[in-house]
Structure 1
Amino acid sequence: MKITSVEILLDKNGNDTRAVARLRPDGAPATIGTGLANLSRTDADSPENIEKLATARALVDLAEQLFETVDSANALPTGWSY
């Protein structure tokens, strides 16, 4: 069994939250996905949701990069499209 971790880094700058998702398999270069979310006045009561949104966007970016490195037609579960 092999376990690989994804490291999530969050950086807040004013109303912007940037997330970086870093996958660093043993002996291989890291793959990094990024995501950005902005705290608007309507979101002021739930800033933790902005962190979640930025993190989700970073993970999507990371996943898209990983799909590009393999035959994406065979990488997705049945019924999914990419």
Structure 2
Amino acid sequence: MFESMSGGHQEHPGGADRYHLTLTADGRPAMHGWWASEAVARSKAARWIGDWGKPGTRVALVDTLTGATLTDWPGAP
């Protein structure tokens, strides 16, 4: 279910939603979602950071078409 965490290219099972957002807590997958719109996905990422961002959590937004990481919070230590 959380194959994207392995670093490989992943697509949503439905194929249409290109932006994948994941939340990990203490290194374990906690939540994820897929969106077709980059603007919506970025908005969700900001919301997740505001709602769930605390020590031990990470929020990552990846463009599954290009493999580019668009958001990585809190970033590298």
Which structure shows the bigger proportion of residues in strand conformation? Answer: 2
What TM-score do the two structures reach when normalised by structure 2? 0.32
Higher relative contact order structure (alpha carbons within 8 Å, sequence separation ≥ 6): 2
What TM-score do the two structures reach when normalised by structure 1? 0.31
Which structure shows the bigger proportion of residues in helix conformation? Answer: 1
